[in-house]
Amino acid sequence: MAHKILPPVVSGPPEFEQTFRAHQNCVEFYPLFLVTLWTCGMFFSEVLAAATGLVYMAARQLYFNGYTQSTKKRLPGFHLTLAVLLTLSVLAVVGITRGLLDKYFYTHI
């Protein structure tokens, strides 16, 4: 315990609060990431979903490292995270749409 903060306290030195907030943000984004990753993998492409998932993990690491140094340094990682989530979402919607068109309208796209 680097900062000597015992649970349930969630406030302390600025370094602790930055690290805690960065961790909380990662926890908040995790469900959205899992849903978009699995949906993209199921309906569009497993390989593309896995590759994009690796980029997501690198983006979160960039975000976390930036946030623990300075709150302004978190932005490149945050923007990359949003771009990855948007990409996964778009690919998932395209995959679902393609599946629906194929099943109900016999259209192969």
pLDDT for position 9: 76
DSSP codes of every residue in the chain: --S-PPTT----SHHHHHHHHHHHHHHHHHHHHHHHHHHHHHHT-HHHHHHHHHHHHHHHHHHHHHHHH-GGGGHHHHHHHHHHHHHHHHHHHHHHHHHHHHHHH----
Does some domain include residue 5? Answer: no
Cα separation, 32 vs 69, in Å, equals 26
Does some domain include residue 69? Answer: yes
Range of the domain at 27: 14-105
Cα separation, 108 vs 70, in Å, equals 50
Q: What is the CATH number for 62? A: 1.20.120.550
Does some domain include residue 8? Answer: no
pLDDT for position 3: 72
Please count the structural domains in the chain.
1
Does some domain include residue 43? Answer: yes
On the question of pLDDT at 1 being above 70, the answer is no
pLDDT tens track for 9-31: 778 888 888 888 999 999 999 99
Does some domain include residue 6? Answer: no
pLDDT tens track for 71-97: 899 999 999 999 999 999 999 999 999
pLDDT tens track for 32-65: 999 999 999 999 999 999 999 999 999 999 999 9
Distance of CA 65 to the CA centre of its chain: 15
